[in-house]
A and B are shown apart, each in its own frame.
Chain A
Amino acid sequence: MSALSDYRRREESITMSSEPVGMGETHELLTLNIGPHHPATHGVLRLIATLEGEVVRDIKPIIGYVHTGIEKTAEQKSYWKAIPVVERMDYLSYYFNAMAYCGAVETLLGIEVPPRAQYLRIIHLELNRIMSHLVWLGTSALDLGAMSMFWYCFRERETILDLFEMSSGQRMHTRYFQVGGVIEDIPAGFARNVQRFIDEMPSRADQYADLLEKNEILLSRLRDTCVLDEQTLLGWGVTGPLLRAAGNPWDLRKAAPYSSYDHFDFRIPVGTVGDNYDRFRVRHAELYESTKIIQQALNGLPEGPHIVEDRKVALPPRHELATSMESLIHHFKLVTEGFRVPEGECYYPIESPRGELGCFVRADGSAKPARVHMRDPSFVNLQATAPMVKDAYIADLIATLAMVDPVLGGVDR
């Protein structure tokens, strides 16, 4: 057959069964420190790897290097001022962090978000998903030796960041989502630019596939490496593309639709085996599906307000401040004290690019949250790296880490 299977055969001829340790120089265990500053760990992650020759017997992830106490900081801010703080957790999917947090607060307040705001949120969430997957694809391909992919992916990412800048004024950590809707309606020309991007994106994704799908190095490093079955993944709490790659089609956008995801026609890509190749294919296929969702949201974008009319929660429009005393008072109260949220607890899960992102908010009746906790998928998924790479090669460890796609800002929070 091909050279690829030849390579695998040679690989498989090496025995990986565990042998007694300390029987001489050849059977020595080596403890290798990887990171915290290492390009292949995708952030400030440290791994203590126990190696027997070139085979990984165990890894211990050590995290906390970029812990910034965001959950504690959020408790010191009024509800709407905590949004920019929680956005900085998972720095590749800031719209998702804001969505989970705002969703939790809206549930506690009992607010119904206007349809136009829901659609605008979906457009930005899915653009963000594509952007996050592009960063993953570029950096992962870089780990596997395909340098040019990085430039292509970041070219498209740049287009998305320009779109974010157009709608919110910021390229990253946009603070576009507010409690009750979005801060501003999209500017003139935004829809046209998004249309131009989603017309182009599928063909770009085809090009990535052409570059990678027939790349023998990539295929031999991904296929049949570090397989973990569905049940084990569920035990480890893994969600998102990693779980879907093992054949479980769990996706909160379909299973428990939020923000009118049930209005759209899209499919959930699933894998069959659960190896690194499936993880790669599932995320790559999601690029197309996100494009389809954006197209439908853009076509069906309803008219109406972009944020709730409730002045106790949302800032009044700027022009009203000059004419209405009441608006001025509302504005003043919101900016100085913020709004109060009735007592209660809420867990609001959404599907982030990496899996279930759940925001737990406890309100004690004051204007500041009493507890904000983010169930970040990177934090939970990272645990599954150890069972994945057990008895695999150290080169496969690097490939697996790339395919797990942990974002250390989300892991450490």
Chain B
Amino acid sequence: MPDQTGLEALAQQLSEALAGSVLATSHAHGRAEIQIAPEQNVAVLAWLRAQGYSFLASLHGVDYYPHEPRLGVIYELLDMRNVDRVSVKARVSTDEPSIASVLELWPGADFPEREVYDMFGVRFDGHPDLRRILMPEDYEGHPQRRDFPVGGEPVLFTYNETDGYGADR
């Protein structure tokens, strides 16, 4: 990862190229992170890709409950030539959880974006096939959110098959 100065320089260049895109930077635990404005995510990632961070290593969601905006979408970018990593984070609120899809940059973002949608309810605009991927199609709620309860799943037996989750199928 770039060091503290390198990260600041990168963020500076980024905010010069795309005004208002950088919200904050952080450099801790060997991880350089740029927090960006969610509406500019495709432009920022395309810019970083052109800078050499051309491999999308990981895309995942985080719930920052109780902090606002609650949800975070994190892109871990990798520069294979210089063995350099940078993380890009976009925060969206649970009221309007939507962000543009980066499928046009990396087709491999398909499954991860569907996973974040499934688990956190973030809608990826422009994703052609945004369906649940790990949970059942008729599942309600987004289980990785911090306020989603654990252990509340009723198990269907013969005696309760007429009520409860999935009974109307």
Q: Which residues does A use to contact B, with CB under 8 Å?
A: 63-64, 67, 69, 71-73, 75-76, 107-108, 110, 234-238, 248, 250, 255-256, 344-347, 349, 356, 358, 360, 362, 370-371, 373, 375, 379-380, 382-384, 412-413
Contact = CB atoms under 8 A, between A and B. Distances in A.
B166 interface: no
B60 A375 contact: yes
Q: Which 4 A-B pairs have the closest CB atoms?
A: A237-B108, A375-B58, A236-B108, A67-B134
Contacts of A360: 58, 60, 62, 74, 76
Interface stretch (B3-11, B23-31, B92-100, B157-165): B23-31
Interface in B57-103: 57-58, 60-63, 74, 76, 80, 83, 85, 87
Given A64-B135, A356-B57, A360-B58, A71 B28 contact: no
A371 B57 contact: no
Contacts of A346: 29-31
A238 B57 CA distance: 9
A347 B76 contact: yes
Contact of A234 (B29, B55, B87): B55
B29 A358 contact: no
B99 to A, nearest CB: 17
B52 interface: no
Contacts of B62: 345, 360, 362, 370-371, 373
Given A63-B134, A235-B108, A237-B56, A344 B150 contact: no
Contacts of B80: 248, 250, 255
Contacts of B30: 107, 346
A382 to B, nearest CB: 7
B107 interface: yes
Given A235-B106, A380-B112, A383-B107, 10 more contacts: A64-B135, A67-B134, A71-B119, A71-B144, A76-B150, A237-B56, A347-B85, A356-B57, A360-B74, A375-B57
Contacts of A345: 28-29, 31, 33, 62
A42 to B, nearest CB: 17
Given A71-B144, A72-B143, A373 B83 contact: no
A383 B110 CA distance: 8
Nearest to B148: A72
Contacts of B54: 234
A73 B153 CA distance: 14
Nearest to A345: B31
B143 A380 contact: no
A63 B60 CA distance: 18
Nearest to B115: A379
B136 interface: yes
A413 B134 contact: yes
Contact of A72 (B28, B108, B112, B150): B150
Contacts of B61: 373
B47 interface: no
A230 to B, nearest CB: 11
Given A371-B62, A379-B111, A358 B134 contact: no
Contact of B60 (A73, A235, A373): A373
A384 B110 CA distance: 11
Nearest to A356: B57
A255 B106 CA distance: 22
A249 to B, nearest CB: 10
A236 B58 contact: no
A98 to B, nearest CB: 19
Contact of B108 (A248, A371, A384): A384
A256 B115 CA distance: 28
Nearest to B108: A237
Contact of B107 (A235, A358, A379, A382): A235
Nearest to A236: B108
A256 B57 CA distance: 14
Nearest to A384: B108
Contacts of B58: 347, 358, 360, 373, 375
Contacts of B63: 371
B136 A64 contact: yes
- Which of B29, B31, B33, B144 has the most chain A CB within a 10 Å cutoff? B29
Contact of A64 (B28, B85, B133): B133
Contact of B144 (A72, A76, A107): A72
A347 B106 contact: no
Interface string B17-59: 0000000000011110100000000000000000000111110
Contacts of B33: 345
B85 to A, nearest CB: 8
B83 A255 contact: yes
Given A69-B143, A72-B144, A236-B107, A358 B133 contact: no
B141 to A, nearest CB: 12
A370 B76 contact: no
16 contacts: A64-B133, A67-B135, A71-B119, A108-B29, A110-B29, A234-B54, A236-B106, A237-B57, A248-B80, A345-B62, A347-B87, A370-B62, A371-B144, A375-B76, A383-B108, A383-B110
A255 B85 CA distance: 12
Interface in B106-153: 106-112, 115, 119, 132-136, 143-144, 146, 148, 150
